[in-house]
């Protein structure tokens, strides 16, 4: 919906006040924002979300199911309703919230989503959550340096990609802002740019493998 170039529009930060985003947040809460296509959602996503919730001591983790990832093909992406339903199957517990907030506020890019939610919920301590596979490509995201400057970031290890992600352009650019995993519990209250890399037991499920398996079962 939003395009690059000088004529590009961004969502109005005031608009969400009149929308039902599917969640309410109170000042002082520690909230993780976990964005993705979830195409489809799987146990690996749940592992990332739960690891971040526990290690960062978050009050909520909001799964932001994107309308369409600009870096992925639209014809390979299932419908929003289908992906929301799939995410709800894996977002277990009262602290996990699945939301189509990006569709409601008209945001395609994380930088816009982050700005709108910070304006909508002043005083909430947001942390952006991603798997290590996302960190490896983070430098391709629109406004990635502004994202790092807009909220602390928690990166959770993922199979096969963790070593590569630690030497990614984003990891090198913000090496000075990385904090030890032992300080993860204080990340939500830290002034950005700050980020941590959380390691632990790995979950080997991936959306790509699941899509290939599902496609094979239909043939």
pLDDT band for 142, please (50, 70, 90 cuts): very high
Q: Is domain 26-218 given the CATH code 3.40.50.620 in the classification?
A: yes
Q: How many CB atoms lie within 10 A of CB 176?
A: 6
Percent of the chain surpassing pLDDT 70: 77
Delimit the domains of the chain by residue range. Answer: 26-218
**Torsion 118-34-104-141 (CA) sign:** positive
Question: pTM for the full model?
Answer: 0.83
- Residues 188-204 have pLDDT tens digits of 999 999 999 998 665 44
Omega before 215 within 30 of 0, i.e. cis: no
- Residues 78-116 have pLDDT tens digits of 999 999 999 999 999 999 999 999 999 999 899 999 999
* CA distance to 42, 102, 148, 200, 212, per residue, from 35 (Å): 14, 9, 15, 21, 22
Residue 5 is predicted with a pLDDT of 39
């Amino acid at each position: 919906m939003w395009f690059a170039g000088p004529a590009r529009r961004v969502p109005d930060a005031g608009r969400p006040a009149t929308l039902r985003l599917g969640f309410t947040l109170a000042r002082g809460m520690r909230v993780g924002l976990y964005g993705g296509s979830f195409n489809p959602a799987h146990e690996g996503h749940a592992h990332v979300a739960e690891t971040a919730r526990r290690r960062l001591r978050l009050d909520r983790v909001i799964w932001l199911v994107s309308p369409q990832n600009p870096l992925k093909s639209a014809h390979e992406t299932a419908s929003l309703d289908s992906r929301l339903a799939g995410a709800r199957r894996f977002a277990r517990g009262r602290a996990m919230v699945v939301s189509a907030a990006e569709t409601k506020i008209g945001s395609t890019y994380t930088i816009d989503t982050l700005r709108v939610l910070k304006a909508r919920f002043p005083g909430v301590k947001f942390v952006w959550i991603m798997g290590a596979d996302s960190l490896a490509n983070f430098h391709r995201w629109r406004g990635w340096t502004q994202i790092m400057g807009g909220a602390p970031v928690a990166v959770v290890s993922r199979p096969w990609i963790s070593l590569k992600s630690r030497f990614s352009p984003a990891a090198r650019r913000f090496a000075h802002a990385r904090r030890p995993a032992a300080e993860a519990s204080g990340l939500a209250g830290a002034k950005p740019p700050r980020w941590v890399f959380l390691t632990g037991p790995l979950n080997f499920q991936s959306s790509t493998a699941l899509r290939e398996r599902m496609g094979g079962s239909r043939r």
